[in-house]
Amino acid sequence: MGNMVHKRMRSISAAALLAMTAGCSWMPWGEKEDPTILPFKTIQSGSYQGFLKNWDDTRTPVFCALIRSRAQWDELMQPAATMGDRRPAGPPAAYFQTKQYLLVARVMQAPDAAERPHVFTPLSVTLRQGVLRVNYLYRAPASGASYQVKDYMMLAIPKERYTTGPVVFQENDRRVCELH
């Protein structure tokens, strides 16, 4: 009887091993990376000590930019030094040797603390047929605040993966900006 239990356990173990091996082809780490999907990192709008400079939001309600150098950063961003704040005014120039920023901004009713992280939600950054496409969700704040703010979503992407061509920003599956 003990021999029969031992054989049965071996066959169950063998069947489990076979099932796991067959399932490995479905596991994500077994697939090759899709070269059309770019990795990105979200940079919170309060990460640096400064703010986005003004633009004509009546003519351009959604402001978009690709920032590839510290000089371009300085054209768009305004440092705002305050006592005791140790955040940098922006990324160091060396950062732009390997990374670049995609930026989308709006003037909006001030969000409350709970809804602020959900105003802009990045979905994907893809590169297909020479067009870089940034797809994100925008949810207008419903805080009831009596004042407006400029807020933005900034995504860091690798510089070697995108070098030139149009950039399309899609908000809630609708094209809102195109850079050439």
CB 115 within 8 A of CB 176: no
Distance CA 39, CA 35 (A): 10
What digits encode the pLDDT tens for the residues 35-46?
A: 899 999 999 887
The tokens for 55 are: 């633009």
What is the strand order of the sheet 148-158 is part of? 41-43, 148-158, 99-109, 62-67
Neighbour count for residue 127 (Cβ, 10 Å): 17
What digits encode the pLDDT tens for the residues 6-17?
A: 555 555 555 454
Distance CA 111, CA 141 (A): 5
What digits encode the pLDDT tens for the residues 106-145?
A: 999 999 989 988 999 999 999 999 999 999 999 999 998 9
Which residues make Cβ contacts (< 8 Å) with residue 102, sequence separation at least 6?
40, 64, 65, 66, 67, 125, 132, 134, 154, 155, 157, 167, 169
The β-bridge partners of 149 are 108
Distance CA 130, CA 10 (A): 55
Neighbour count for residue 94 (Cβ, 10 Å): 9
Beta-sheet pairing, 148-158 with 131-138 = unpaired
* Residue among 91, 87, 61 nearest 74 (CA): 91
pLDDT-derived band at 1, boundaries 50, 70, 90: low
Least confident segment among 48-52, 64-68, 106-110: 48-52
Residue 23 above 70 pLDDT? no
pLDDT-derived band at 18, boundaries 50, 70, 90: very low
Residue 66 above 90 pLDDT? yes
Distance CA 157, CA 171 (A): 18
* Residue among 17, 46, 38 nearest 128 (CA): 38
Residue 50, phi then psi, degrees to nearest 5? 170, -175
